[in-house]
Structure 1
Amino acid sequence: MKVEAWLFGITTVFLVLVTPAYWLITDASDHGGDWTGTSALVMTTLLVGMVTLYLGLHAKRMDERPEDRLDGEIADGAGELGFFPPYSWWPFWCACTLGIIVLALAVTAWWMLVLGAALGVLALSGWIFEYYRGEHAH
């Protein structure tokens, strides 16, 4: 995690230096500056800074990983890596119900909004409780 935190930290420093420079360079033109690019750079700087902070805090709390040690071997990283969920249809159904809700808001069809919300509750419940029943029950 330390390497990742350093990479994002360097990117944050770069963006902190580039953002005001970009604002000053574009503000010198006759058009009054490029507010779209400047605001995008500010938001990117804040986002990368947030990731840097997150990775830096977790790097301090975590035990040292084999990837972070200079004398680490490939065999040191062997073993259980974690739980990876199998193939699931529930995210697809959640996306479909979200599409129904957005369409209902776009065409102001309140009955469709209620239908999409009801189907969304069913789809989200299925996704949440997927591992409590059926083939992949724990």
Structure 2
Amino acid sequence: MKAEAWIFASCTIFFLLVTPAYWLVTDASSHTGGGDWTGTSALTMTALLTLMVTIFLGFHAKKMDPRPEDRATAEIADGAGELGFFPPYSWWPLWCAMGLSAVVFAVAMSAWWMVIIAGALGAVALAGWIYEYYRGEYAH
């Protein structure tokens, strides 16, 4: 995890350097005075987000045993074994996305009757996605 922490630390440093530069460049190019508040606040939040991930990974890197990727003396065989569970293809995310898009469209059009129908169908799709591995071929 140390490598990942260093990657995010370098991103944090980059965003901390770019944010004031962006403010100054947009300040010089704007005729109204003041820089671009939207871009500057987005860059500030991005810097804070990468700082948060850096701190998280840094704390956990100290507590964990080094992975084979983190050791210079590791062999290829040290990384062998099961890496985790990777689910097969599923149609449920498509139906969830369609249900959510129908709800958002219905709210935008103020069609509250459609919000109820799309919300119910979206809830069924979400339940199907959640409970997908409790039945059928991939049941646990």
Pair in the same fold by TM > 0.5: yes
Quote how far apart the aligned CAs of 1:20 are. 1.9
Alignment of 1:76-95 (within 5 A): 76-95=78-97
Distance across 2 between alignment mates of 1:83 and 1:72: 24
- Residue 117 of structure 1 deviates from its aligned partner by 1.1
- The Cα of 1:13 is off from its aligned counterpart by 1.7
Identity over aligned pairs, percent: 69
CA RMSD of aligned residues (A): 1.5
* Structure 1 segment 1-138 matched on structure 2, within 5 A: 1-29=1-29, 30-32=31-33, 33-138=35-140
After the TM superposition, which parts of structure 1 deviate over 4 Å for at least 4 consecutive aligned residues?
none
How far the C-alpha of 1:19 sits from its partner, in A, is 1.3
- CA positional deviation for 1:45: 0.9
State the Cα distance separating 1:21 from its structure 2 match: 2.9
Q: CA deviation at 1:83?
A: 0.4
1:77-128, Cα deviation, whole Å (9 max, x unpaired): 0000000011111111100100110111011011110011111111111111
Aligned-pair distance for 1:38? Answer: 1.3
What code does the residue aligned with 1:58 have? H
Tell me, what secondary structure is at the counterpart of 2:116? helix
Q: Which moved more, 1:114-123 or 1:48-57?
A: 48-57
Unaligned runs of 5+ in 1: none
The Cα offsets for residues 12-52 of structure 1, whole Å up to 9 and x where unpaired, read as 12221221233234324443222232122112212212221
Question: How far apart are residue 54 of structure 1 and its match?
Answer: 2.5
Question: Once structures 1 and 2 are overlaid, which stretch shifts more, 117-126 or 22-31?
Answer: 22-31
2:87 and 2:17 map into 1 onto residues whose CA distance is 41
Cα separation, 2, equivalents of 1:6 and 1:75: 26
Structure 1 stretch displaced more, 108-117 or 13-22 = 13-22
Between the aligned partners of 2:132 and 2:66, the Cα distance in structure 1 is: 34
